[in-house]
């Protein structure tokens, strides 16, 4: 049996709403040896569903998406805030805390990294261009999703450095928000050249949030594919990174 990795599927806001998640998240989990299971972010998920999700899944992916409602980290919205979805926020914030309680590994990607940080008491920059004057470009309109765009400095003793390997790394970038205050019990595991936090990880090594999109890079870049291998191995109950 393959380890089951639950991936949150959010509801689109179209005439015919659909629960969707990105193709590349699913394929990256499958390529790493996991069985991907889409979990729709419904109101029932918060109440009745969450316990069964935890029983069904060995680990979870929180994918990219819109902005977390700033009320969840004690702020009022800035004018540059874009699409928010309180139901999705609620489902994902609840899942973060439940997964931690049940010692299930969780990978937050882009919005997911922000959700993870907020779930445990951290805060966000609501809009990098408006709030961080010295910031580099964190939205690569000019480059394909699978293309590397800015460099990363990994914290030397971090879980992420053990996952991705020593030395220089680069990533893609599609975010206008970022982690501001790192949540208690978490540490910054990677920074961009402008000093913005690009990854957070929990002290127990079971929750990792990356601000970039490793699922788009995994096919061609083993250091990014390794992030999904970590998740699937941890979901299988294997000792973390016996290397």
Return residues touching Mn ion (CB under 5 A). Answer: 138, 173
In the three-class reduction of DSSP (H, G, I as helix; E, B as strand; rest coil), residue 201 is classed as strand
What is the C-alpha to C-alpha distance for residues 151 and 37, in angstroms, rounded to an integer?
Answer: 32
Between 4 and 113, name the residue whose CB sits nearer to Mn ion: 113
User: Cα 69 vs. chain centroid, distance in angstroms?
Assistant: 16
Supply the minimum distance, in Å, between the C-beta of residue 135 and Mn ion: 9
Could you tell me if 104 and 57 are in contact, meaning their C-beta atoms sit under 8 angstroms apart? Answer: yes
What is the C-alpha to C-alpha distance for residues 139 and 125, in angstroms, rounded to an integer?
Answer: 15
Catalytic residue among 138, 213, 221, 224: 213
* Residue 213 bears catalytic tag: yes
Supply the minimum distance, in Å, between the C-beta of residue 162 and Mn ion: 21
Between 111 and 138, name the residue whose CB sits nearer to Mn ion: 138
Could you tell me if 179 and 113 are in contact, meaning their C-beta atoms sit under 8 angstroms apart? Answer: yes
Residue nearest to Mn ion (CB): 173
Q: Are strands 207-210 and 197-202 parallel, antiparallel or unpaired?
A: antiparallel
Supply the minimum distance, in Å, between the C-beta of residue 224 and Mn ion: 14
Catalytic residue among 57, 138, 215, 221: 215
* Residue 215 bears catalytic tag: yes
Burial of 168 (0-12, 13-18, 19+ CB in 10 A): exposed
Catalytic residue among 57, 110, 175, 198: 110
Between 3 and 63, name the residue whose CB sits nearer to Mn ion: 63
Between 173 and 177, name the residue whose CB sits nearer to Mn ion: 173
* Residue 110 bears catalytic tag: yes
Residues marked as catalytic: 110, 213, 215
């Amino acid at each position: 049996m393959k380890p089951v990795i639950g991936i949150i599927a959010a509801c689109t806001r179209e005439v015919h709403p659909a629960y969707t998640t990105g193709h590349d998240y699913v394929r990256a989990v499958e390529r790493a040896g996991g069985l991907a299971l889409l979990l729709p972010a419904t109101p029932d998920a918060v109440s009745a569903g969450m316990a069964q999700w935890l029983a069904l899944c060995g680990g979870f992916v929180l994918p990219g998406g819109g902005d977390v409602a700033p009320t969840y980290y004690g702020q009022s919205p800035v004018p540059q805030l874009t699409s928010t979805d309180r139901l999705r926020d609620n489902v994902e914030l609840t899942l973060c805390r439940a997964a931690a309680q049940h010692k299930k590994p969780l990978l937050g990607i882009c919005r997911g990294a922000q959700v993870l940080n907020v779930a445990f008491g951290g805060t966000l920059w609501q809009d990098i261009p408006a709030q961080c004057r010295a910031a580099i470009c964190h939205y690569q309109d000019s480059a394909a999703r699978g293309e590397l765009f800015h460099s990363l400095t990994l914290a030397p003793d971090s879980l992420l450095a053990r996952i991705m390997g020593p030395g220089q790394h680069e990533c893609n970038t599609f975010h206008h928000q970022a982690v501001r205050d790192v949540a208690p019990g978490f540490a910054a595991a990677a920074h961009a050249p402008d000093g913005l936090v690009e990854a957070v990880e929990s002290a127990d090594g079971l929750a990792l949030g990356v601000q970039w999109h490793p699922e788009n890079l995994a096919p061609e870049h083993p250091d990014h594919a390794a992030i999904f291998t970590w998740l699937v191995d941890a979901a299988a109950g294997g000792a973390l990174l016996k290397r």
